Amino acid sequence: MIKPVLRMGDPRLWLPSRPVTSFATPELHALVADMEETMRHLDGAGLAAPQIGVDLRVVIFGVDHNPRYPDAESVPWTVLINPQLTPLSSKKVGGWEGCLSIPGLRGWVPRWCDLRYTGLDAFGRPIDRTVSGFHARVVQHECDHLDGILYPMRIEEFTRFGFVDTLFTKEANDVVD
Ligand code: NI
């Protein structure tokens, strides 16, 4: 079922979420199905459970070809539960991010370049991946939601935060770059 996505300002988005303790349950599968349907309906690259008002440590993500991210590398479709993120170097890289909870805006966000992440899928099977680039960015963005962090809280250059239709005009790029 497509669920309403909470928007920035809703206090539920600032709360840390709870670990999942039961796997392969009808309730967990229903949550993941609702998240997937909601994300695909909105052409998102990912979604975290708190964005639909569920305070559990569940994120989904995946990018095939996405009109909201036309230049993005593809990212495998993933259901990631109780994630643990470990940066593999101190190197960070900036990139544009949006969020379904902050419609119409984009910000330039520094993220760890090289990342290992572990967790479980909805059946309780382990996931252990070493990633970089856009895949690493998406994971960090989604997992931040589980700790009540939205991407504007990571922005360091506020001249690179604004409305999509204003930021990405030619004149705006001339000023920003
Ligand atoms: Ni988001």
Catalytic residue among 27, 37, 97, 142: 142
- Residue 173 banded pLDDT, cuts 50, 70, 90: low
CA of 149 from ligand 1 middle (Å) equals: 9
Q: How far apart are CA 82 and CA 54, in angstroms?
A: 14
Q: How confident is the model at residue 175 (pLDDT cuts 50, 70, 90)?
A: very low
Q: Which domains does the chain have, with CATH numbers?
A: 11-174 (3.90.45.10)
Residue 167 reports pLDDT greater than 80: yes
What type of residue is 43? Answer: D
CA of 109 to the centre of ligand 1 (A): 12
CA of 117 relative to ligand 1 center, distance in Å: 18
> What is residue 73's predicted lDDT score, i.e. its pLDDT?
82
| Residue 36 appears among annotated catalytic residues | no
Ligand 1 centre distance from Cα of residue 87 (Å)? 20
pLDDT one-digit tens code per residue, 17-40: 999 999 999 999 999 999 999 999
Read off the pTM: 0.92
pLDDT for the residue numbered 170: 62
Query: What type of residue sits at position 71?
Result: D
Alpha carbon of 161 to ligand 1 centroid (Å): 15
Say if residue 177's pLDDT is above 70: no
pLDDT band at 176 (very low <50, low <70, confident <90, very high): very low
CA distances from 176 to 99, 169, 170, 171 (A): 21, 11, 10, 9
Q: Residue 138 Cα, ligand 1 centroid: separation in angstroms?
A: 9
Residue-wise pLDDT tens digits, 45-99: 999 999 999 999 999 999 987 676 677 788 999 999 999 999 999 999 999 999 9
Note whether 139 and 61 are within 8 A (CB): yes
Q: What is the pLDDT of residue 15?
A: 98
Rounded distance from Cα 142 to ligand 1 centre (Å): 6
How do residues 95-149 score in pLDDT, each as one tens digit?
999 999 999 999 999 999 999 999 999 999 999 999 999 999 999 999 999 999 9
C-alpha to C-alpha distance for 161 and 94, rounded to whole angstroms: 12
